[in-house]
């Protein structure tokens, strides 16, 4: 079967200090890092052995994964497995980029976020240009806050046209029409992010063809619904996979609502759902 997995292990540290993030400049102890590495390796081994399924994987760490060698190694290794269609990760792109040349670039993809104030603009842009030179698949995005607008405009002007620049509505922020138009001029798909999506009772692919997995292998339908479906490593999750409506009122995060069947986003992002690359750009 085709199965999409969103993996989030215990890693919770980040090298950046974004004012809008609870994980800013958090440190993991040596033991916590060791535990994160062991759990990631267990998940990687499981995915490697799952050869009768076709897997798409997105790593969504709380903190920054790619500054850790074990994430770079896992992504490289998984990208070479024939039954893995896509392996992607959310990253601030502060990592080195030389490892990317060792991955299968038809399978690897990066969801990159620019955080103004955390790294010089030119340094981030140079990393994007290096990804482009290497032939990597990647999207670039930014949080739609007023003081990010200049950087967003610069990025849109400086990035190659075929690199999608997405804009995420800032959490809890209301955008009037004029403000929304400004962001939509940079990201034509911003209207999907502008407001949380009413989701109660609506069909969502999570829990059927998409699941969320934590470091212990606990399987949930998505990162936002806490009810457990079973465990990945003892196989108990499998019998729980079936269509089911969303039990929450709203879904306001792209990695969730992209799977809502009432939205057209599997068509909009066909071939790039996990790394957020629209079909029109590929």
Judged by CB, which is closer to ligand SF4: 90, or 107? 90
Give SS3 for 107. Answer: coil
Phi/psi of residue 57, each to 5°? -125, 135
Binding letters toward ligand SF4, positions 68-107, x by CB under 6 A? ------------------------x---------------
Binding segment for ligand SF4 among 13-21, 171-179, 235-243, 266-274 (CB under 6 A)? 13-21
**Does 259 contact ligand SF4 by CB under 6 A?**
yes
Is 276 a binder of ligand SF4 (CB under 6 A)? no
Among positions 128, 251, 265, 273, the unique one binding ligand SF4 when judged by CB under 6 A: 251
Give the Å distances, CA to CA, from 221 to 56, 206, 208, 216: 15, 5, 8, 15
Which member of 256, 265, 274, 276 binds ligand SF4 (CB under 6 A)?
256
Which of 232/246 has CB closer to ligand SF4? 246
Q: Candidates 1-9, 48-56, 121-129, 254-262 — which segment interacts with ligand SF4 by CB under 6 A?
A: 254-262
Find how far residue 161's CA is from the centre of its chain. 21
Query: What are the DSSP calls for 25-66, one per residue?
Result: T----HHHHHHHHHHHHHHHHHHHH-TTSEEEEEE--SS--T
| End-to-end Cα distance, the chain | 25
Where does residue 233 rank: exposed (0-12), middle (13-18), buried (19+ CB within 10 A)?
A: middle
21 binds ligand SF4 (CB under 6 A): yes
Alpha helix stretches (DSSP H) within 30-176:
30-49, 69-79, 121-134, 149-158
- Half-sphere exposure at residue 239, Cβ-oriented, CA atoms within 13 angstroms: 3
Report if residue 44 touches ligand SF4, rule: CB under 6 A: no
Task: Provide, rounded to whole angstroms, the least separation between the CB of residue 20 and ligand SF4.
Answer: 7
Q: List the one residue from 221, 230, 254, 278 that touches ligand SF4 (CB under 6 A).
A: 221
Q: How many residues bind ligand SF4 (CB under 6 A)?
A: 24
Structure tokens, 73 = 């190694």
The site for ligand SF4 (CB under 6 A) is made up of: 14, 16, 18, 21, 23-24, 63-64, 92, 115, 199, 204, 206, 221-222, 224-225, 246, 248, 251, 256-257, 259-260
């Amino acid at each position: 079967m085709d199965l999409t997995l969103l993996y989030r292990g215990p890693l919770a540290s980040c090298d950046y200090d974004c004012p809008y993030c609870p994980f800013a400049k958090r440190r993991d102890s040596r033991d916590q890092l060791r535990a994160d590495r062991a759990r990631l390796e267990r998940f990687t081994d499981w995915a490697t052995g799952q050869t009768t399924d076709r897997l798409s994987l997105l790593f969504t760490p709380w903190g920054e994964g790619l500054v850790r060698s074990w994430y770079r190694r896992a992504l490289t290794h998984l990208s070479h497995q024939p039954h893995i269609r896509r392996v992607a990760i959310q990253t601030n792109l502060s990592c080195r980029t030389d490892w990317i040349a060792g991955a299968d670039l038809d399978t690897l993809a990066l969801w990159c976020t620019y955080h103004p104030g955390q790294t010089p603009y030119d340094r981030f842009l140079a990393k994007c240009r290096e990804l482009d030179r290497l032939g990597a698949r990647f999207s670039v995005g930014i949080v739609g806050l007023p003081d990010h607008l200049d950087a967003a405009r610069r990025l849109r002007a400086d990035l190659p046209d075929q690199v999608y620049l997405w804009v995420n509505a800032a959490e809890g922020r209301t955008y009037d029409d004029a403000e929304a138009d400004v962001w939509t001029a940079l990201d034509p798909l911003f209207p999907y992010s502008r407001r949380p999506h009413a989701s109660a009772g609506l069909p969502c692919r999570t829990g059927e063809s998409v699941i969320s997995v934590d470091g212990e292998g606990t399987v949930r339908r998505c990162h936002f619904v806490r009810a457990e479906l079973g465990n990945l490593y003892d196989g108990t999750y499998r019998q729980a996979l079936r269509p089911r409506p969303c039990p929450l009122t709203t879904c306001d995060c792209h990695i969730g609502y992209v799977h809502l069947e009432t939205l057209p986003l599997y068509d909009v992002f066909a071939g790039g759902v996990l790394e957020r690359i629209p079909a029109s750009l590929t």
